[in-house]
Amino acid sequence: MSNNLNNGESVELKKSTFLLTSPYLKKVRAFFEEVTSITRFVLRFFKEVFRPRYEFSEFIKQSYLVGYNSFPLIAITGFIMGLVLTIQSRPTLAEFGAESWLPAMVSVSIVREMGPVITALIFAGKVGSGIGAELASMKVTEQIDAMEVAGNNPFKYIVVTKILATTLMLPALVILADAISIYGSYIGVNIKGQISFHLFFLQVFQALSFSDLFPAIIKTFFFGFAVGLIGCYYGYKSDSGTEGVGKAANSAVVFASLSIFIIDMIAVQLTSLFM
């Protein structure tokens, strides 16, 4: 009996020793270290963003690069999104004899959810990965170190301007994408039916209200911030040679996309509480 007890205790001890030294514990520890590191990165951003010197010209340049240069891709995907959503929704609505609701239904879907989320995901893929790879390359080729040893502030010049640019440009892109998407929907409606431009947009604006547009645009600022922050974070902390460049670009897209869905989930919950 005593022997059995001792054996049992021994097994428990081995289990706990295994847990303490196991790879699982190392992963948990690595997770918390990563969270701490990201938190410090965010705090540094807020410290630097309000402190002079302000890098206006670099901010304008970055806004052009992430905003204007992303517009063609966002416009094409937005147009297709509106067109396809309309074509796919028509048969279901037709079953209930509610085809006339097509402009209203599609526009609300686009403005509330599809436009912001899909645009943000495309933005994360194009801009987030670019920022991650660019910063990681700068790190690997010692360009960031070169700024630092010259007494300049690379964090302010590179990171702050990029995060501000993504935060402010994504909402603008989403508004444009929404507009183009609704136009795509108008084309989609006219493929199998016929509705005038004036009547289509009259129905769209009758269906939309301020409470549809406002929360949807607010959350895109957070999407943009997340894309810029995550791209910069993984690029800036990269230090494992050329392999690190690929990893930084990949991590930037994966975690930015994930964070977009998480922010969206929180935003929808908050909106439903207050609206």
Partner 1 sequence: MSGSIVKIENLKKSFGSNKILNGINLHVEQGENLVVLGKSGSGKSVLIKCLIGLIEADDGNIALFGKSINSIKEHELNAIRKRVGFLFQSAALYDSMTVRENLEFPLRDLKPITPEEINSSVEEALKSVGLEDAVDKMPSALSGGMRKRIGLARTLMLKPQLILYDEPTTGLDPITSKEISKLILDVQKKYNTASIIITHDVECARLTSNRMVVVRDGILVAEGTFTELSESKDEWVRSFFK
Q: Given the rule CB under 8 A, which of 42-50, 120-128, 142-150, 180-188 is the region that contacts partner 1?
A: 142-150
Q: Given the rule CB under 8 A, which of 8-16, 42-50, 138-146, 224-232 is the region that contacts partner 1?
A: 138-146
Residue 52 touching partner 1 (CB under 8 A) = no
- Say which residues have a Cβ less than 8 Å from residue 51's Cβ, sequence separation at least 6: 156
Please say which residue, 142 or 243, places its beta carbon nearer to partner 1: 142
Residue 147 touching partner 1 (CB under 8 A) = yes
Among 35, 146, 258, 275, binds partner 1 (CB under 8 A): 146
Among 1, 5, 20, 149, binds partner 1 (CB under 8 A): 149
Window 80-119: contact mask with partner 1 (x via CB under 8 A): ----------------------------------------
In Å, the largest CA–CA distance within the chain is 89
Nearest C-alpha neighbor of 118 from the set 165, 73, 78: 78
Q: How distant, in Å, are the alpha carbons of 58, 118, 129, 226 from that of 73?
A: 23, 12, 15, 20
Residue 30 touching partner 1 (CB under 8 A) = no
DSSP alpha helices (H): ranges in 208-240? 210-236
Cβ-contact 111, 123 below 8 angstroms: no
Q: What gap in Å lies between CA 59 and CA 233, rounded to an integer?
A: 18
Among 1, 2, 53, 97, binds partner 1 (CB under 8 A): 53
Nearest C-alpha neighbor of 219 from the set 176, 171, 179: 171
Cβ-contact 157, 58 below 8 angstroms: yes
Nearest distance in Å: CB 137, partner 1? 8
Q: Given the rule CB under 8 A, which of 108-116, 145-153, 166-174, 258-266 is the region that contacts partner 1?
A: 145-153
Among 41, 71, 143, 195, binds partner 1 (CB under 8 A): 143
Among 21, 152, 211, 240, binds partner 1 (CB under 8 A): 152
Cβ-contact 177, 114 below 8 angstroms: no
Please say which residue, 9 or 145, places its beta carbon nearer to partner 1: 145
Q: The tokens of 143 are what? A: 């360009």
Cβ-contact 105, 200 below 8 angstroms: no
Which single residue is written with the structure tokens 């194009």? Answer: 126
Q: How many CB atoms lie within 10 A of CB 70?
A: 21
Please say which residue, 153 or 271, places its beta carbon nearer to partner 1: 153
Residue 150 touching partner 1 (CB under 8 A) = yes
Interface contacts to partner 1, rule CB under 8 A: 53, 138, 141-143, 145-153
